[in-house]
Amino acid sequence: MPGFELFGAKEKAQVNDVLNSGVLMRYGFNGVRKGHWKAKTLEKALEKRMKCGYAHVVSSGTAALTVAMASAGVSTGDEVIMPTFTFVATFEAILALGAVPIMVDVDDTLTLDPTAVAKAITKRTKVIMPVHMCGSMADLDALKVLCKKHSLLLIEDACQAIGGSYNGKPLGSYGDLGCFSFDYVKTITCGEGGAVITNNQDYYAHAEQYSDHGHDHIGKDRGAEAHPFLGYNYRISELNAAVGVAQLKRLDKFLDIQKYNYTVLRKALEKVPQITFRRVPKGGVENYSFLSFYMPTEDLAKKATEALAKAGVDGCFYWYDNNWHYHRKWEHLKDLKSLGYLPNKVYDQLPNYYKSDFSKSDHWVGRNISCLIKLGWSKSEVRKRAETMAGVLGAIDQ
């Protein structure tokens, strides 16, 4: 991770197909595009790779989350349960629909704690949204039981975990809908892009129409298409989709590289007594994009992060102090700072997050360090990195 590390001739060839046709838009211009339909090609490839009935590609992972929820009927005042550890896009997408983000604790998986989720469910809850952060998943069986018991939607944010699996199913395909990001720093990239996958034909039809101004896409004359409902513009371009076509074909190779590099680092760190590792739920397989581990205390985690950086080990993230990925720095959400109107229900229903007790999340995230696994490392670089990390972390005073 990320896929741009290995850009090459295959990506260039796909992009050149689009440039040579002169058609950069995914819809219309049938006669001059010379048979090239990159967005459609990427969707069919995703359906096959993710073992799902339908895939629809959009302009970003944030767009994918928004479109997925809208397609399933999430609307004003509906509550969406989400983790305290995620990217800000999670609550941005929820708020974009007038829905209410309900944060709950994460556990040692660094994802939604099912016990905390159960306590947060109310009569207004519509969705449980696990976010498979840093390449690994939540306890999806437990969350699915809760969804079935309370008639809720399970929408997987798999934006950071493409290629992982749970009980033999690709991540993203386990819930009612799944979402992916193909931005510039993801395991596979379109530069900018995302996707919604589902086995529900109605959700797919809604997603396809909602993301393109409500067009029904019936017939061959785009100007004559009907509009069953209001929509917005979350379209991907053919140029972005073309990069994705090439990258998706290389996903399994990328995963093999990540797994090798991850395994070398993990074996070295397993020899450091004070380190423990993130729990991967039984039946789960990571996509190996990050190696996440715990130090005994928050103070030691901070010292370890500083020591690794000083030793020249880049790409090790201490999320606890991160502006974008952890609840502690989300004042703009807590204060509902917005340039536009937010529904009254959002103001009325949003908890006072300044008073919320997320000490359980702090216990795990405060001790966690997540190290990015790069695709471009040589084997000698990986071994050197492993030795350096083990030495640095083993020398941290308790």
**pLDDT in 10s for each residue of the chain, 398 residues:** 899 999 999 999 999 999 999 999 999 999 999 999 999 999 999 999 999 999 999 999 999 999 999 999 999 999 999 999 999 999 999 999 999 999 999 999 999 999 999 999 999 999 999 999 999 999 999 999 999 999 999 999 999 999 999 999 999 999 999 999 999 999 999 999 999 999 999 999 999 999 999 999 999 899 999 999 999 999 999 999 999 999 999 999 999 999 999 999 999 999 999 999 999 999 999 999 999 999 999 999 999 999 999 999 999 999 999 999 999 999 999 999 999 999 999 999 999 999 999 999 999 999 999 999 999 999 999 999 999 999 999 999 86
Q: What element of type H or E holds 317?
A: strand 316-317
Tell me which residue of 67, 62, 98, 78 sits closest to 206, measured CA to CA.
Answer: 67
Q: What is the pLDDT of residue 306?
A: 97
Amino acid letter for position 43: E
Contact 177, 200 (CB under 8 A): yes
Tell me which residues are annotated as active site: 186
With b meaning 16 or more CB within 10 Å and e meaning fewer, what string describes 215-253?
beeeeeeeeebeeeeebeebbbbbbbbbbbbbbbebbee
Counting every residue, how long is the chain? 398
Amino acid letter for position 103: M
Q: From CA 68, how far away is CA 61, in angstroms rounded?
A: 10
Spell out the domains of the chain, with CATH numbers in brackets: 3-250 (3.40.640.10), 252-394 (3.90.1150.10)
Q: What is the pLDDT of residue 398?
A: 62
Q: What is the pLDDT of residue 273?
A: 96
82: its two tokens: 């989400």
Residue reference for tokens 């950069």: 24
Could you tell me the pTM of the whole model? Answer: 0.97
